[in-house]
């Protein structure tokens, strides 16, 4: 998924990028940090009001905590003429500790008709979007049990796909029905009953979709079989054999044609399947040649594609695109950039199709490694946006990759902290997860100062947290441990405040004095500079440090890969 609007805030970019492009030649100086910068990057409150409904949705409630998802069989009929969905979800779970009340989520106007366990109908109480099911059978630790939830209705029409959930009902350019589901935003429970919290992923999934027989239904994983019915419909049975998060589950219906190829990757032969509208087959066959290029680059940086068993797919959809595990949604019009625009403003963003690269990058960060709580959404979007620059670097060289990463900085707003509020399904996140996030990862790479090590860390993340849900702390601790660096103040500064540390310095009597300002007190971060034409690492703290330059003059330039403003003045 990408940013909800294209905003370009050039100011910070000018401060941090353009000023650093030119060496600053000074005799004796004092750095002045203009007050506008401080006001711009000052702390902004994340204060929000949350409702009981937000907590029911966003908390691991006692009625969720005692059971662990094992398997879903989502079995639905999609009636396009009536814009309705009807069917059932079989929810298999493991009992972690005995309890008799189980929470299932489904949002109006969708309704639950009946819930059964072992053929016996169960009572349930509804509180807003949550249903509390009263189980009759004793729930014994380690037992696997199932409930079947029958439901239906006219799900909400997705108001702004992919940023808000529901169903997209459209016609394609040939007038054929073109339908997709979206689960981001308000959530999967907009159109199917589930445990609508990200911490618990189902281990495997079967998804059966009944549609009119002139159309095809495509979902996650592999197509198992197609049943022809007597009523001019077909049921497509899809199967996912790996853990999958809720918002990754999706169906797409259209006048599709299918073509495929096999990519010989790090883990063997990977089936790549493409489902595109019939009229776009020719264009797609040419344009999707970017897929093997993407796989080559991302397997190099992040390790094997995480779902070989379930194949890789691109599926054409009636909206821009979305990460959907093993069934990446594609709607970028077979062109490079983001609907033709370069998100980095460097020219490099027009060398690739943004949706193919970005949404596929999410297979590693979002589908493989999934946040437990949406407050940590930076993990999905920051690593994935960072992957775009790594793609550029892999195919066009390191300088091009650096250009891209630095270009993305132009979108930073510093309006809210990167980490949101926990336990309340906080969707009011900052778009900085797409700009500041990759920027700090790029800066971290400079600090590690060993590209092979950095690649090991990136690949290690995919291994360490393979098919898991994680917290920010787990990611922080892993990177700190593997790099053998104390990064605690780095994470606290950049993830938990909106302040951007400024490199403040002056030059007098042959001595360079410097420190971090606009930073948390304990902030330490090495900085690469060019001093009198020579590359140097310096180690500013938040109190003044001093360094003999053995020179009457000073030329100082902060390395462009650091997102570090450094203001100066010629006045003595
Ligand atoms: Zn994204």
Distance from the alpha carbon of residue 311 to the mean position of ligand 1, in angstroms = 20
49 band by pLDDT with thresholds 50, 70 and 90: confident
Distance from the alpha carbon of residue 147 to the mean position of ligand 1, in angstroms = 33
Q: What is the pLDDT of residues 415-440, one digit of tens each?
A: 999 999 999 999 999 999 999 999 99
Distance from the alpha carbon of residue 2 to the mean position of ligand 1, in angstroms = 4
Give 272's Cβ-side CA count (13 Å radius). 20
What's the predicted TM-score (pTM) here?
0.92
Query: Which residues are CB-neighbours of 196 under 8 A, at least 6 positions away?
Result: 57, 105, 129, 187, 188, 189, 246
Distance from the alpha carbon of residue 476 to the mean position of ligand 1, in angstroms = 20
Q: What is the pLDDT of residues 359-414, one digit of tens each?
A: 999 999 999 999 999 999 999 999 999 999 999 999 999 999 999 999 999 999 99
Distance from the alpha carbon of residue 86 to the mean position of ligand 1, in angstroms = 30
Distance from the alpha carbon of residue 365 to the mean position of ligand 1, in angstroms = 9
Distance from the alpha carbon of residue 530 to the mean position of ligand 1, in angstroms = 35
Distance from the alpha carbon of residue 1 to the mean position of ligand 1, in angstroms = 3
Sign of CA dihedral 310, 316, 318, 322: positive
Query: Which residues are CB-neighbours of 365 under 8 A, at least 6 positions away?
Result: 302, 379, 380, 383, 384, 387
Distance from the alpha carbon of residue 144 to the mean position of ligand 1, in angstroms = 35
Give 226's Cβ-side CA count (13 Å radius). 12
Distance from the alpha carbon of residue 358 to the mean position of ligand 1, in angstroms = 6
- Measuring CA to CA, which residue among 458, 72, 378, 474 is closest to residue 243? 72
d(CA 295, CA 303): 10
Distance from the alpha carbon of residue 357 to the mean position of ligand 1, in angstroms = 10
Q: What is the pLDDT of residues 177-229, one digit of tens each?
A: 999 999 998 899 999 999 999 999 999 999 999 999 999 999 999 999 999 99
Distance from the alpha carbon of residue 131 to the mean position of ligand 1, in angstroms = 31
What angle separates helix 451-464 from helix 290-302, to the nearest 10 degrees? 90
């Amino acid at each position: 998924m990408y940013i909800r609007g294209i905003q370009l805030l050039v100011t910070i970019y000018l401060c941090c990028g353009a000023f650093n492009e030119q060496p600053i030649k000074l005799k004796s100086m004092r750095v002045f940090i203009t007050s506008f910068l401080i006001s711009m990057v000052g702390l902004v409150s994340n204060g929000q009001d949350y409702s009981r409904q937000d907590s029911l949705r966003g908390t691991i409630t006692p009625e969720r905590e005692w059971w662990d998802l094992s398997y879903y069989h989502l079995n639905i009929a999609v009636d396009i003429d009536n814009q309705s969905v009807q069917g059932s979800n079989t929810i298999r779970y493991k009992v972690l500790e005995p309890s008799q009340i189980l929470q299932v989520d489904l949002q109006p106007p969708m309704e639950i008709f009946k819930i059964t366990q072992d053929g016996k109908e169960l009572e349930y109480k509804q509180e807003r979007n949550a249903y509390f099911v009263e189980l009759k059978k004793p729930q014994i630790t380690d037992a696997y049990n199932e409930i079947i939830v029958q439901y239906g209705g006219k799900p909400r029409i997705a108001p702004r796909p992919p940023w808000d959930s529901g169903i997209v009902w459209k016609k394609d350019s040939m007038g054929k029905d073109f339908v997709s589901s979206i689960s981001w935003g308000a959530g999967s429970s907009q159109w199917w009953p589930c445990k609508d919290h990200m911490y618990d992923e189902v281990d495997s999934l079967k998804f059966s979709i009944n549609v009119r027989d002139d159309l095809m239904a495509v979902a996650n994983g592999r197509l198992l079989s197609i049943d022809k019915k007597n009523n001019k419909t077909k049921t497509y049975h899809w199967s996912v054999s790996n853990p999958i998060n809720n918002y990754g589950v999706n169906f797409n219906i259209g006048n599709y044609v299918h073509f495929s190829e096999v990519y010989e990757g790090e883990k063997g032969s990977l089936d790549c399947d493409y489902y595109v509208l019939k009229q776009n087959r020719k264009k797609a066959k040419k344009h999707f040649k970017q897929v093997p290029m993407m796989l080559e680059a991302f397997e190099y940086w992040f390790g094997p594609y995480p779902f070989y068993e379930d194949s890789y797919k691109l599926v054409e959809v009636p909206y821009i695109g979305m990460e959907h595990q093993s069934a990446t949604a594609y709607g970028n019009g077979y062109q490079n950039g983001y609907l033709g625009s370069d998100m980095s403003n460097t020219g490099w963003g027009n060398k690739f199709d943004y949706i193919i690269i970005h949404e596929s990058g999410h297979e590693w960060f979002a589908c493989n490694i999934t946040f437990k709580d949406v407050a940590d959404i930076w993990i999905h979007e920051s690593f994935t946006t960072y992957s775009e620059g790594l793609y550029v670097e892999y195919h066009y060289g390191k300088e091009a990759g650096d250009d891209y990463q630095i270009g993305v900085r132009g979108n930073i707003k510093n309006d809210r902290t990167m980490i949101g509020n926990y336990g309340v399904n906080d969707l009011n996140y900052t778009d900085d997860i797409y700009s500041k996030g990759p920027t700090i990862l790029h800066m971290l790479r400079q600090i590690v100062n060993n590209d092979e090590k950095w690649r090991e860390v990136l690949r290690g993340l995919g291994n360490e947290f393979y098919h898991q849900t994680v917290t920010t702390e787990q990611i922080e601790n892993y990177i700190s441990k593997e790099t053998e660096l104390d990064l605690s103040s780095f994470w606290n500064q950049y993830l938990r405040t909106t302040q951007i540390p400024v490199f403040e310095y002056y030059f007098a009597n042959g001595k360079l004095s410097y420190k971090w300002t606009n930073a948390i007190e304990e902030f330490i971060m090495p900085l690469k500079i060019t001093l009198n034409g020579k590359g140097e690492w310096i180690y500013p703290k938040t109190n003044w440090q001093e360094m003999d330059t053995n020179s009457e003059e000073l030329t100082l330039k902060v390395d462009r890969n650091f997102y570090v403003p450094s203001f100066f003045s010629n006045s003595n």
